Chains A and B, each alone.
Chain A
């Protein structure tokens, strides 16, 4: 069965600093991978998606993620965090036939 592990429940970062959120997936074959974000009092929104191809994918608001088959990972990065990035970030995996399987999420707090 497919699964996703986000090892960091909470991350605190200073505004302007870089951010990396870790995601490890378990999937037999080549997965489709996603990062979703949940801003306070808002619904989940797609941040970026990986379909088999270029391992580095760009998303909205300066986010990017890198797929590694050898490490079974799909880590999310941002070079310079803004206060508006305060949110919960979810990694997710699927194949074309199933619904998304989400990780537990990483809660990001941004301080000046």
Chain B
């Protein structure tokens, strides 16, 4: 069974540039999460979806970050006008709604903003 796939694995930007991260969850998983993990810190939830609906985006910096999951499968996280403080690894995870807390994570997309 294929795991959670993320791309690109690495991105290096200048401040002010935009970047999009893509996530393909495990087939059949209805819940998809995006986490931000700064270096030497724990993952911090940005947004999560059940099917195509946003369940919680309260921690998403809405002025520059956006996330979509239009067909309830793949998802894209976009950062516009990146800042140095956005430097982090962006993790995607998926799960079944009935398996509380049992998330399957991708390897992450490491973003460096110069």
Per-residue CB contact flags for chain B residues 40-62 toward chain A (1 = under 8 Å, else 0) read 11111100100000001000000
Across the interface, B100 reaches (CB within 8 A) one of A44, A45, A94, namely A94
Q: Of residues B41, B43, B108, which shows the largest number of chain A Cβ atoms within 10 Å of its Cβ?
A: B43
A110 to chain B, nearest CB (A): 19
Contact A90–B42 (Cβ < 8 Å): yes
Cα–Cα distance between A44 and B6 once the two chains are bound (Å): 13
Interface check A63, CB cutoff 8 A: no
B105 near A100 (CB under 8 angstroms)? no
Tell me the interface secondary structure of chain B in the complex: loop
Query: B41, B42, B45, B108: which contacts A99 (Cβ < 8 A)?
Result: B45
Shortest B112–chain A CB gap in Å is 17
Q: Does A22 contact B (CB under 8 A)?
A: no
Report the Cα distance A26→B107, complex, angstroms.
29
**Cβ A42 vs Cβ B107 within 8 A:** yes
Contact of A34 among B93, B101, B107 (CB under 8 A): B101
A98 at the interface (CB under 8 A from B): yes
B107 touches A43 (CB 8 A): yes
Give the contacts of A79-112 with B (CB-CB under 8 A). Answer: 90, 92, 94-96, 98-105
**Residues from chain A with Cβ under 8 Å of B4 in the complex:** 43
Q: Name which residue of chain B comes closest to A45, CB basis.
A: B105
CB of A49 closer than 8 Å to a CB of B: yes
Give chain B interface residues in 91-112, CB to chain A under 8 Å. 91, 93, 100-103, 105-108
Which residues on the B side are within 8 Å of A43 (C-beta)? 3-4, 91, 105-108
Partner of B101, one of A41, A90, A100: A100
Are A46's CB and B102's CB within 8 A?
yes
Report which residue of A32, A34, A102 has the largest number of chain B beta carbons within 10 angstroms of its beta carbon.
A102
Min distance, Cβ B56 to any Cβ of chain A, angstroms:
6
Given A92-B101, A96-B100, A103-B42: 12 more A-B contacts, CB < 8 Å: A34-B101, A41-B107, A43-B4, A43-B91, A43-B107, A44-B103, A49-B101, A90-B43, A94-B101, A100-B43, A102-B44, A105-B40
B residues within 8 Å of A by Cβ? 3-4, 33, 40-45, 48, 56, 91, 93, 100-103, 105-108
